[in-house]
Chains A and B, each alone.
Chain A
Amino acid sequence: MTNEEKISLIEDALEIEPSTLKPETLVGNISELDSMGKLTLIVLCDDEFNKKLTGEKLKEFNTVQDILDFMA
């Protein structure tokens, strides 16, 4: 899956306007990533990529690129 496709999945799951997120977007600036948003991202990683994202790991993410790398 390309980075663009992954970003599109994240935007769709978090109900963010398409083409808003860039790889360099800071995770801390994504207002939709509140507690339910974080849970959504965790479930998305599990469902789509079979990756177990933890709360601790999520805290380490600086940019959207870190999320994309984790999904790889």
Chain B
Amino acid sequence: MEGIYMADYLNLTNKRIMIAGVATGIGKTTAILLSELGADLILLDINVKELNETMALLKPGQHFSFPVDLSDILNIEKKVNGIIDISGSLDGFVYCVGIRSRRPLRMITPKVLSEVINLNFGAFLELTRCITKKNNFNSELSIVGISSIAASRGGAGVTAYAASKGAMESAVRCLAKEMAPKKIRINTVVPAQTNTPAYTALQNMAAADEDAILARQYLGLGEPLDVANVIAFLLSANSRLITGSAIPVDGGFLTS
């Protein structure tokens, strides 16, 4: 029978997976989970202290960590090539980096817009471009980006953020088709409100009407592990027929 038996569910042994953005929240939890599932990891983050803290929480494996400023987009290619020279070619890539920008239109200057789009979307696309070059990846590479319900639902004050996530989802649909002949799959996960430091920071802001949001998110606030579980599934061969998709992990938000 074709396909992967559920009995082999989520075994990532001997899979080499790069995760960008592992300091806190979903990225950090994903790194720990993937190490528990047997993967060898390459962790990237701008924050050296938190990068090392996450490294220390991994189950043993052939792991690497590299401090990288991904907003320096023109130097990503050189960095990635250097890293893969050391680590070996990739079986998976997860992009968890993002600025959770919350601003009314009148405060979205060109500088702010370019920072948000550059880091939330541009660096994701550039990393994907570099990783999917010949010899940098193994057959059946799986790529996962973290999108947001904001990509498809309007909210006052989240224009720049929503646009960056919308760009990611649109790009992923195109890339899935373009890269299928190379046996590469690419998807996004779409969290709603998730219990992370970024969420707590937003709650502290005046305009955040969290009760109204959680009323629509009728299964309640998500935990980072809820999202990490779906990322692990998308990285595994069990999801081999899923590509170009935006998978909600939203407590029902997008259906309410």
Contact = CB atoms under 8 A, between A and B. Distances in A.
Interface of A: 13, 15, 35-36, 38-44, 47, 54-56, 58
Contacts of B107: 13, 39-40, 43-44, 47
Interface stretch (B113-121, B126-134, B205-213): B205-213
Given A36-B207, A39-B206, A56-B204, 9 more contacts: A35-B209, A39-B102, A39-B157, A39-B205, A39-B207, A40-B106, A41-B206, A55-B206, A58-B206
Contact of A43 (B103, B156, B204, B208): B103
A60 B114 CA distance: 34
A39 to B, nearest CB: 4
21 contacts: A13-B107, A35-B156, A35-B157, A35-B206, A35-B207, A36-B104, A36-B157, A38-B206, A39-B104, A39-B157, A40-B106, A40-B107, A42-B205, A43-B102, A44-B107, A54-B204, A54-B205, A54-B206, A55-B204, A55-B207, A55-B208
- Report which residue of B106, B205, B209 has the largest number of chain A beta carbons within 10 angstroms of its beta carbon: B205
Give the bracket for the number of chain B residues in contact with chain A. Answer: 10 to 19
Contacts of B156: 35-36
Interface in B143-188: 156-157
B205 A55 contact: yes
Contacts of A41: 206
A59 B104 CA distance: 19
B106 A13 contact: yes
Interface in B211-234: none
B206 A43 contact: no
A17 to B, nearest CB: 16
Contacts of B205: 39, 42, 54-55
A56 B205 CA distance: 8
Nearest to A14: B106
A15 B106 contact: yes
Nearest to B204: A54
Contacts of B157: 35-36, 39
Contacts of A43: 102-104, 107
A18 to B, nearest CB: 16
